[in-house]
Amino acid sequence: MSDLLALAFTSFLVQNIILNQFLGICSFLGVSNKRDKALGMGLAVFFVITLSGMMTWAIYDFILSPTAFNNNTDLTFMRTIVFILVIAAMVQILEMAIKKFSPGLYSALGVYLPLITTNCAVLGVALLNIQYSFTFVETIVFSAFTSLGYTAVIFTFSFIREQMVKAPIPAGFKGIPVGLVAASIMAFIFKGFAGLI
Amino acid sequence: MADKKVKPKGRKKKRITPKQNLIKGIFKENPTFVLVLGMCPTLGVTTSLENALGMGLSVVFVLILTNGLIASIRNIVPSEIRIPVYIVVIALVVTLIEWMLNAYLPDLYDALGIYLPLIVVNCIILGRAEAYASDNTVFDSIFDGMGMGLGFTLGLSTLAFTRELLGTGSVELLNITIYEASVAASFLVSPPGAFLTLGLLIGIINTVRLDREKKKKAIMDEKIRVALAKKAAKKKALEAQQNQEPTINLKEVAF
């Protein structure tokens, strides 16, 4: 149990997916200029990463891994293609399901769902689950808390971006450059969390 | 007959030469500094110049192949399912390069780690497939891919050079130390340093670009002003000639 707690803390704060692993930077810079946009994207990413993490883990363990069929067929080289297809299909299905069952949620998240297929954080977490050879429970904890870390950082960052619009910034640094500098200060602060564990 | 002759002429005018295509990707539409695409590997692998060059050249290879392949199947693929098809093609090429690096350059394979399979979701590659290769010829697309890939490599190596030089005090390439300094700001090699260096580099490049545009605009404005002044003077002279009498009359009335 304490191991799982440590894993949750590590993936949420210490090894934060944006500020420490550099995954999902495109969406981090792209949709963080408005608060509700950032929250919508963050929640959509949370759903997709958690579900796809579980799914790709199951596919890897039961089909691709050499121990899967007891005949030593090593299909691990197929992981990139299989994972990206699973993620693309899952995003489609999730979009349709949300549209059908919860129109309110769809209008909030719908726009961001198609963008998520090419968010490196999703494929990145799926590949990291395999690389760290997690068990199923660890996979769920890691995927959920990593994506929560994404949501927390992108939401916090959107507050900073909203305030930064009012500041007198030189024309060349407006927008993304000064955003990156602010992200750098955030990364410094998150580095301090390493002392927690 | 006449129609056939006109069409290729119009096409030739629109088409840019391979050299221009290549240079456009490297400078004018540089993916790292101007388009700001593919940020994950840009920040992730630029701790050393060697890794950055390895990543950049892998992307050049992938972009040339995917752009060529996608341009050659662009007329067969129905537009509704083009994105999944593109992604499968890209994943295939990336898997290929993963094998090659694993077999021939295992050190680089280990250093790039998770960022290598993540080339699949690099926005530059899908972006180029969608924006360029899906409606251009194979030949043009290959040059576009090469230009964009080299632009990306240039961006990565500039960032990596800065970070490695200022962060460790020396730059190493293929076991040859290019430069060695006695002091170092080691935080530049860590994650916060990546954000800071990239932010400052993009900012500086933007400032220089804006400055240059301003100067260009100032020169253009000056030319326009001179031309307008000439025109106005001409007009005035003409008007003065025509309205000489009425103006004198008006003045007399005013007195």
CA–CA min distance A121, chain B (Å): 9
Which segment, A10-14, A103-107, B88-92, B178-182, is predicted with the most confidence on average?
Answer: B88-92
Identify the band that residue A111 occupies on the pLDDT scale cut at 50, 70 and 90.
low
Residue of A nearest to B37 (CA): A26
Query: Does residue A19 sit at the B interface (CB-CB below 8 Å)?
Result: yes
Q: What mean pLDDT value characterizes chain B?
A: 81
Number of CB atoms found within 10 A of residue B12's CB: 8
> Cα–Cα distances in Å, from A94 out to A182, B247, B251?
34, 80, 83
Closest CA to A179 of B191, B163, B203, B188: B203
Amino acid at position B126, single letter: L
What is the average per-residue pLDDT within A84-104?
Answer: 83
Q: What is the pLDDT of residues B11-43, one digit of tens each?
A: 444 567 777 777 777 887 788 888 778 788 888
pLDDT score recorded for residue B4:
43
How many Cα atoms occupy the beta-carbon half-sphere of B86 within 13 Å?
29
Q: What is the pLDDT of residues A38-65, one digit of tens each?
A: 888 888 888 889 989 999 998 888 887 7
* Facing A191 at nearest CB: one of B192, B198, B199: B192
CB contact under 8 A, A84 and B191: no
CA–CA min distance A16, chain B (Å): 11
Amino acid at position B250, single letter: L
Q: What is the ipTM of this complex?
A: 0.85
Dist. CA A24–CA A119, nearest whole Å: 6
Dist. CA A17–CA A22, nearest whole Å: 6
What is the average per-residue pLDDT within A104-133?
Answer: 80
Running DSSP on this structure, what letter comes out for residue B177?
E
Identify the band that residue A153 occupies on the pLDDT scale cut at 50, 70 and 90.
very high
Higher pLDDT, B177 or B232: B232
CA–CA min distance B119, chain A (Å): 9
- Phi and psi, residue B21, nearest 5°: -60, -45
Q: B129 with B63: CB under 8 angstroms?
A: no
Domain ranges of chain B: 2-189
Identify the band that residue A152 occupies on the pLDDT scale cut at 50, 70 and 90.
very high
* Facing B39 at nearest CB: one of A25, A84, A170: A25
Residue A21 has pLDDT above 80, yes or no: yes
Closest CA to B91 of B66, B113, B61, B120: B120
* Facing B120 at nearest CB: one of A84, A172, A179: A84
How many Cα atoms occupy the beta-carbon half-sphere of B65 within 13 Å?
17
CB contact under 8 A, A84 and B199: no
Domain ranges of chain A: 2-15+35-196
Q: Lowest-confidence range among A94-98, A128-132, B66-70? A: A94-98
Query: Does residue A23 sit at the B interface (CB-CB below 8 Å)?
Result: yes
CB contact under 8 A, B199 and A179: yes
Dist. CA A12–CA A23, nearest whole Å: 14
Q: A157 with A139: CB under 8 angstroms?
A: no
Dist. CA A122–CA A45, nearest whole Å: 8
pTM of the model: 0.80
Query: Does residue A176 sit at the B interface (CB-CB below 8 Å)?
Result: yes
> Cα–Cα distances in Å, from B156 out to A16, A81, B50, B52, B83?
23, 26, 10, 6, 27
Identify the band that residue B247 occupies on the pLDDT scale cut at 50, 70 and 90.
low
Residue A68 has pLDDT above 80, yes or no: no
pLDDT score recorded for residue B9:
44
pLDDT score recorded for residue B132:
82
Q: What is the pLDDT of residues B76-126, one digit of tens each?
A: 888 777 888 888 888 899 988 888 888 888 888 888 888 888 888 888 888
Identify the band that residue A16 occupies on the pLDDT scale cut at 50, 70 and 90.
confident
Dist. CA A196–CA B29, nearest whole Å: 43
Residue A181 has pLDDT above 70, yes or no: yes
Higher pLDDT, B219 or B39: B219
Q: What mean pLDDT value characterizes chain A?
A: 84
Sign of CA dihedral A49, A52, A54, A58: negative
CB contact under 8 A, A88 and B208: no
pLDDT score recorded for residue B8:
44
Dist. CA A52–CA A73, nearest whole Å: 24
pLDDT score recorded for residue A145:
92
Please list the helix, strand and coil fractions of chain A in percent, rounded to the nearest 5, in that order: 75, 0, 25
Identify the band that residue B130 occupies on the pLDDT scale cut at 50, 70 and 90.
confident
Beta-bridge mates of residue B177: B172
Q: A24 with A49: CB under 8 angstroms?
A: no
Q: Give me Rg for the CA atoms of chain A.
A: 18
- Phi and psi, residue B136, nearest 5°: -135, 165
CA–CA min distance A126, chain B (Å): 10
pLDDT score recorded for residue B7:
44
Q: What percent of chain B shows pLDDT beyond 90?
A: 3
Residue A37: which residues within 8 A CB-CB, separation 6 or more?
A31, A158
Provide DSSP, B69-90. HHHHTTTTS-GGGHHHHHHHHH
CA–CA min distance B156, chain A (Å): 14
Q: A180 with B193: CB under 8 angstroms?
A: no
Residue A43: which residues within 8 A CB-CB, separation 6 or more?
A108, A109, A151
Residue of B nearest to A27 (CA): B39
* Facing B191 at nearest CB: one of A19, A127, A177: A19
What is the average per-residue pLDDT within A7-11?
Answer: 83
Q: Which residues from B are below 8 Å from A173, CB to CB?
A: 199, 203, 206-207
pLDDT score recorded for residue B32:
80
What is the average per-residue pLDDT within A140-149?
Answer: 91
Q: Give me Rg for the CA atoms of chain B.
A: 27
Beta-bridge mates of residue B179: B171
Higher pLDDT, B38 or B61: B61
- The residue whose two tokens read 């098809």 is B85
CB contact under 8 A, B200 and A187: no
Residue A162: which residues within 8 A CB-CB, separation 6 or more?
A33, A34, A35
